[in-house]
Amino acid sequence: MTFLDYISGVPAYLEREWSDLLELTFEHLLVVLVTIVLATVIALGLGLATYRNQSGARAVLTVTGTFLTVPSFALFGLFIPIFGLGAVPTVVALVLYALLPIARNTITGLRSIDPAVVESAQGMGLSRRQRLLRVELPLAWPIIMTGVRVSTLMIVGIAAIAAIVNGPGLGGPIFQGLSAIGTQRGFNLAFSGTLFVAVLALLLDGVLGMLSKLTTSKGL
Amino acid sequence: MPAHEQETATAASIRLESLTKRYAGQAEPAVDNITMDIPAGEIVVLVGPSGCGKTTSLKMINRIIEPTSGRIFIDGEDVTHVNADQLRRRIGYVIQQIGLFPHMTIAENIGMVPRLLGWNRARISERVDELLDLVGMEPSAYRARYPKELSGGQRQRVGVARAMSADPPLLLMDEPFGAIDPITRERLQNEFLRLQSNIRKTIVFVTHDIDEAIKLGDRIAILTKGSKIAQYDTPEAILTAPANDFVADFIGSGASLKRLSLSRVRDVELNQWAVGRLDDDRAQLRQSLTESDHGSLLLLDEDQRPVRWVTGHDLTRSGESLDRVGLPATATVEPHATLHDALNEMVTSRVGCAIVVDDQRRYQGIVDMRTVMRAIDEMRESSQARDRHAAVQPMEAG
Ligand SMILES: Nc1ncnc2c1ncn2[C@@H]1O[C@H](COP(=O)(O)OP(=O)(O)O)[C@@H](O)[C@H]1O
Ligand SMILES: [Mg+2]
């Protein structure tokens, strides 16, 4: 059978399994959203705590960078003894992967602000906290949001691998399909799983892009 | 805020007492034991070579830099250890790079400190408009713009407006015109002086440019390395009697030419030039020109604004409309400009004089070489009189 033969079988499959696939996509989306919200909170905190401190910032970037170098199979597997199977180890592992882009962009964004702007804020009597909330974060925001978008794209893909710890989402059909590769059913499963992952990634990126634009000052 | 409230707002006096700053890892202190009294309502300029400690001295007043030792008094109150954020809300601060908030509109930038102080919206918005007017920017046109949409000179004006937003009795300015092109800088300096003649704040102004110091300062402190005061006096006294070789060197050559910066156009008697109106009859204009002893006529528009210089020959060229013949009437100065500015304009003008206009650009008169020479003569006489007086004094004492 050629690739085209396989493809021609997909539409009928999609029609049959449409609602199941949507449900899995929704699960996938949920995992990604929870991951990104948690990762953003943590990475933003790490970034804010260390951006003015050379060695602190370097430590954060090194550690979060190291998470990214661990193969995802291994990382998911490592958490089984601690968290068992299912959604919890999935989200924990994914959060670790999502930290670096957000933390790095938070630090870069906050550091790229013109020192004169911060000094004038200080000179006007804005407290440390007011400077951060009213001046520094809004100015670094577009760069931080870019980090969030990069993490999101990455996590939508990696979340599929969570199926090996029985994680929720579109990894399920993809892995089943891969284990039955060479059959039409195997192809249907793997192909539609991948297709939905890709579409979800594009949609999320579009939504985040819009969100970033809406929440960034027109003066920047 | 109503205008009268602003006029009555007090200016603050400052006293620096044995103020010292030692940066970590540096052998010599950047500011070494400076003691200085700054009277209320005056512009005091700190001037000196690069690296002598001007910026450090200035930033210790609002404690952006914390002093290593010494004390700072504002209006007699020791502020060396008070809450720095609250202290700074009472002190306007303008730096060379200005540092407008790029993500906020001009109105939000100017309204920042009033917002921190908890003013209500209506009062803030009224204050923003008042300040934009004060620095010569049409509020309706600029309120909603962002800093990136302004020119360098306009950003500088907004920076000054923002520093004055909560009507602080004290302004600190660190080379505020340093990054601006010379022509705009001169205009901003003149506007700044006009502004100060209305608001009468205490202003501590840092520059490395002695000409700027002479032009703007009521008093000048010439600083050497470690922010040591070489001389602290009025510009007149510094120019006529430099305290030591360092000051004399720093003033440089041409001290008498620099003294032209001490006289303002509004203080000298203006000459009048033969003028006509753009819409006057040409025969009538030729008549006025012949009756005057000038070689050309200055044409004004219907609002009395200078437009063209025309000669008798230009007036006979019937084909051209009057606003196309002759030379454009450039080289204008405002009453706040110094004679030094006027002299500058004069030498660029082909007619050899500077046209004096008011702040609406309406014609007031002209300044020419004779005016300048007369001013120089007067200054020479008064300084000779002072020298004679100084020479007589010790004998009387003895
Ligand atoms: N943050 C700093 N850390 C260490 N040294 C500094 C710092 N700021 C200024 N200096 C040093 O202190 C001296 C005075 O600097 P500054 O006050 O900026 O002078 P000025 O404004 O007159 O040019 C200089 O020798 C400068 O190198
Ligand atoms: Mg400096």
User: What's the A144 CA to ligand 2 centre distance in angstroms?
Assistant: 33
Query: What is the predicted pLDDT for the residue at B193?
Result: 92
Query: Which residue's alpha carbon is nearest to atom 8 within ligand 1?
Result: B56
Q: Which ligand does the CA of B57 lie closest to? A: 1
Q: Domain B266-374, CATH 3.40.50.300 — does that match?
A: no
CB B305 within 8 A of CB B356: no
B48: closest CA of chain A, how far (Å): 22
For residue A121, what are the domain limits? 3-215
Answer whether residue A116 is part of any domain: yes
Which chain A residues are Cβ-neighbours of B104 within 8 angstroms? 217, 219
* Per-residue model confidence as pLDDT tens digits over B190-218: 889 989 998 999 999 999 999 999 999 99
The band of B396, judged by pLDDT with boundaries at 50, 70 and 90, is: very low
Q: List the CATH number of the domain containing A29.
A: 1.10.3720.10
Answer whether residue A153 is part of any domain: yes
Which residues have C-beta atoms less than 6 Å from ligand 1?
B 23, 26, 30, 48, 50-56
Answer whether residue A105 is part of any domain: yes
CB B111 within 8 A of CB B131: no
* The total number of structural domains that make up chain A: 1
Nearest CA in chain B to A118: B99
Query: Which residue's alpha carbon is nearest to atom 7 within ligand 1?
Result: B23
Q: For a pocket test of ligand 1, which of B21, B22, B26 has the largest count of ligand atoms closer than 8 A to its C-beta? A: B26
Answer whether residue A220 is part of any domain: no
Those residues of chain A whose CB sits closer than 8 Å to some CB in chain B are: 114, 116-127, 130, 135, 138-139, 217-220
CB B194 within 8 A of CB B336: yes
- Average pLDDT over chain B, rounded to an integer: 89
End-to-end CA distance of chain A: 55
Asked if B103 and A120 come within 8 Å (Cβ–Cβ), the reply is no
CB B268 within 8 A of CB B336: no
Residue B198 at interface with chain A, using a CB cutoff of 8 Å: no
Residue B102 at interface with chain A, using a CB cutoff of 8 Å: yes
Query: Which residue's alpha carbon is nearest to atom 27 within ligand 1?
Result: B51
Cα B342 from Cα B344, distance rounded (Å): 5
* Per-residue model confidence as pLDDT tens digits over B14-72: 999 999 999 999 999 999 999 999 999 999 999 999 999 999 999 999 999 999 999 99
Residue B320 has pLDDT above 80, yes or no: no
Query: Which residue's alpha carbon is nearest to atom 5 within ligand 1?
Result: B23
Give burial (CB, 10 Å; 0-12/13-18/19+) of A75: buried
Cα A173 from Cα B191, distance rounded (Å): 73
Give burial (CB, 10 Å; 0-12/13-18/19+) of B226: middle
Answer whether residue A167 is part of any domain: yes
Residue B251 has pLDDT above 60, yes or no: yes
Hey, what are A219's tokens?
A: 């003066």
The band of B383, judged by pLDDT with boundaries at 50, 70 and 90, is: low
* Per-residue model confidence as pLDDT tens digits over B253-273: 777 777 888 888 888 888 888
User: What's the B230 CA to ligand 1 centre distance in angstroms?
Assistant: 19
Residue B147 at interface with chain A, using a CB cutoff of 8 Å: yes
Please report the DSSP string for B17-48 in residue order.
EEEEE--TT-SS-SEEEEEEEE-TT-EEEEE-
Q: How is chain B split into domains, by residue range?
A: 14-256, 266-374
Answer whether residue A191 is part of any domain: yes
Q: Domain B14-256, CATH 3.40.50.300 — does that match?
A: yes
User: What's the B250 CA to ligand 1 centre distance in angstroms?
Assistant: 20
